[in-house]
Amino acid sequence: MTEAQPVRVVLVDDHSMFRSGVRAELAADSGVEIVGEAGGVGEAVAVIGRTKPDVVLLDVHMPDGGGKAVLEQVKDQDVRFLALSVSDAAEDVIGVIRAGARGYVTKTISGPDLGAAVRRVKDGDAVFSPRLAGFVLDAFTRPESSRELDPELDQLTQREREVLRLLARGYAYKEIASRLFISVKTVETHVSSVLRKLQLSNRYELSRWATDRRLV
């Protein structure tokens, strides 16, 4: 086989029905291999430590602190996280991204799209759902009068804004690239830099969303 090694994935979700659904959908994708499953925070930490996966598909809402708790407990390991949730609430999405996840997709995502997202996260890029892109635009366009803005972290460049707008409009990376006359790699760089700002910025809206996170 000339094909590169498949991406090793651990699936963390407290609903076993959902896990088996994802497993079935990803089975069609030869580039992804599910090496472990976990139904809770403690189990997830153990499975991730044992299997050393490339990517963890992480449910946002779980008992005992949810996906955020898993992120906090395996912070030091070389593993990337893609958050998966039915919730569209800003505090859930932003909360899990700021805790360290490299992307966020909703559970309605199709099998092929999920496979592509997993590979993208494995390569160190970010994955934004349209809604996440919308949240970021919203948070970064709101005027912040209370204090000085750090242009490095608290503001988006014009190009980043354009990329996010197209993401929010439902464009795929390739479509964005051809639309803006840039390479896909450049699109990925822009999105990763937005992710970094999203994780590190002190903008009020972001920290509010990240801390107000409610558990359902």
Interface ranges with another protein (CB under 8 A): 87-89, 108, 130-131, 133-134, 137-138, 141, 165, 168-171, 216
Q: Which bin fits 128, alpha (ψ -120 to 50), beta or left (φ > 0)?
A: beta
Query: What letters, b where the CB count within 10 A reaches 16 and e where it falls short, cover 131-161?
Result: bbbbbbbebbeeeeeeeeeeeeebbbeeebb
Query: With contact defined as beta carbons under 8 Å apart, do 65 and 18 qualify?
Result: no
Residue 144 Cβ, how far from another protein at the closest point, in Å?
15
* Residue 2 vs 108, nearer CB to another protein: 108
* Residue 61 vs 73, nearer CB to another protein: 61
* Residue 74 vs 172, nearer CB to another protein: 172
Residue 23 Cβ, how far from another protein at the closest point, in Å?
22
Closest by Cα among 85, 90, 88 to 60: 85
* Residue 56 vs 133, nearer CB to another protein: 133
Residue 141 Cβ, how far from another protein at the closest point, in Å?
7
214 burial level (CB within 10 Å; 0-12, 13-18, 19+)? exposed
Residue 67 Cβ, how far from another protein at the closest point, in Å?
17
